[in-house]
Structure 1
C-alpha cells in the first residue's frame, strides 16, 4: 500500500486515537500539542514527531496552524525493499526539529503536492518524496544500533522524572543526563529495564497519579496537570487501560473500603 502525504490544520479540541500505520507529523505553521504514550508537549513550527503504529496519541492545534502528515503503512515502498532500513525510525516515538536543508526540502515537497500528480495505487511519487525525507531524518536522528551498552544511573533518572513529572518530558531530556544520544540512550535503557523510556515515564506518571487519587482530595484535573497528562480525559483513559477503571471509580472504591463501619452503640450512648 502506498504512503499518503497530506496537509491540514488541527482543531483546538483534543482528540486521541491509534492506527495501524506509522506516521510523521510536522508543524509547518502555528503550533500543536502532541502526547504519544505519555511523552510530548508543544510542537512549534518546523518541528515534528514520529508516531509509531499502534501507539496511542493525543493531539490538538493551537490557533491558526498547518500540519504536514505522512501516513506510512508498514508495507509501503518508502519502508520496504531498498528502503527497509528506514523502518528503524519508528522503533520509538520521538520529537525533532528541522534544520535549514530539511526546511528547503519540505518547501519542495509542498510545491510538488500543490502541482498535483497521479495518486493511484500504481503511482509511488508520494513514497519517493517520503523516502527522501525519512532517509534525511534517519541520518540526523540515528538509530539504536550501538552494540555496546553502558549502565545507566536509574536512581538519578528516577529523581529527575519525579522532579519534572508535570513538565514536557522527552527522551532527549533523559538522554542528556547520561550524556548519550537519544538513540543510544533508548537502546541502553531498554536493555537495562525491559521498557522503552516513554513506557517507563508513563508508568511513573500513572504510579504518581494513582497515589494522588488515593491519598488526596485534589480534583482529577489538577492531578492530571501535576503528573504530566494532557488533561483529565487523557488521565482517565490511561487509568482504564492500566487499571481497568477510571480514577473516579478507583477513588470511590478506596473511600468505601476505608470508611469505618457504623458503631454498634446508638449515637450518644457511652460504652463501658
Structure 2
C-alpha cells in the first residue's frame, strides 16, 4: 500500500463487517452510510465523518446512493507524512466528527478532481488529510453525544413493537428512518437512544435478527439457502453465507448438514430404543 491510498466509492446496501491493518478516514460528500465501530455507531453523511484506527472491528451499510471518500493510511507510513505525529494522535481511538460546510465543499471538489485526474491521487489524499487535521486540531477530542434515557423514551423505544415490525419486513430493506418513525423520533436521536438501550446499533440489531431467523430456517426447514437468503433480506446467497459465517462461525451449508446428522442420529437412537423395548415385552 502507498503512503496514502484514497478512493471515491459508493458504499452499497450490503452489510459489511471487518477489520484491517491500516487507519481509515471515511468522509462523504453526499448520501448516508450507517457505520458502527466496536458497538458505537453513527451516520456518515455530508456533515459527519469518522476515523477508524487500524485493527478496530467495524461494520457498515450504505444507501447505495452515497459518494464517499475512503482514505487508507498504513500506520507505518505516518512518520514520513507531514504532521505525522499529530495525525497519529487523531487515530488513538475511534472518532466520529462534524464536517463543516467548507470542508464538505472541499471534499466534493477534490472528489471531482480525483475522478477526472486519478494520477493526482496522492496529492489529493495529502491535501484532504491536511485539511481534516487543521479542522480537528482545534476541536475537542470527544464529540460523544450520549443519550440518557428517561422513562418516556424507554416507553417510546418499545422493543417488542420494533421486533414485530422488523420480523414482518425481514425480506425488505429496513432503514433507520423507518424504525425511528415508529418511535416518533428523529433518525439521529433514535440511533443514539437505541444504542444506549440495547448496546447495539439499529443496523447491527436488524442484521442479527435476520440471521437468527435464518438459522431457524437453515436447521429446521428444507428450503434452499438461496430462498432463505431472500426471505431474510439478503440480495444473494453469497452475501448471506458470508454474514452467516461471521455471526455463527460456521457456514449455513455446514450448519444444515450438522443439523441433519444430529437429527438422523436421534432418529436412529430412538429406533434402537423402541426395538429393545419391543424385545423386552
- TM-score of the alignment, normalized to the shorter chain, above 0.5: yes
What is the alpha-carbon root mean square deviation over aligned residues?
5.1
Question: Matches of 2:104 and 2:127 in 1, distance apart?
Answer: 19
1:116 Cα offset (Å):
3.8
Report if the CA contact (8 A) 2:26-2:68 is conserved.
no
Say whether 1:261 aligns with 2:263: no
For structure 2, which runs of at least 5 residues remain unmatched after alignment? 37-45, 79-83, 137-142, 276-280
1:4 Cα offset (Å):
4.7
For structure 1, which runs of at least 5 residues remain unmatched after alignment? 38-45, 91-99, 135-141, 267-271
Question: Matches of 2:191 and 2:127 in 1, distance apart?
Answer: 33
Q: In the comparison of the two structures, how many residue pairs are matched?
A: 233
- Structure showing the higher helix proportion among its residues: 2
Alignment match, 1:24: 26
Report if the CA contact (8 A) 1:239-1:247 is conserved.
yes
Question: Matches of 1:230 and 1:209 in 2, distance apart?
Answer: 14
Alignment match, 2:187: 182
Alignment match, 2:96: 88
What SS does the corresponding residue of 1:167 show, helix, strand or coil?
coil
Report if the CA contact (8 A) 2:191-2:202 is conserved.
yes
For 1:64-143, what aligned pairs fall within 5 Å after superposition? 68-71=69-72, 87-89=95-97, 105-110=106-111, 113=114, 114=117, 116=120, 119=123, 124-130=126-132
1:205 Cα offset (Å):
0.9
Say whether 1:242 aligns with 2:247: yes
Alignment match, 2:164: 159
The TM-score normalised by the length of structure 1 is 0.60
Cα pair distance change 1:124/1:26, threshold 3 Å: closer
The TM-score normalised by the length of structure 2 is 0.59
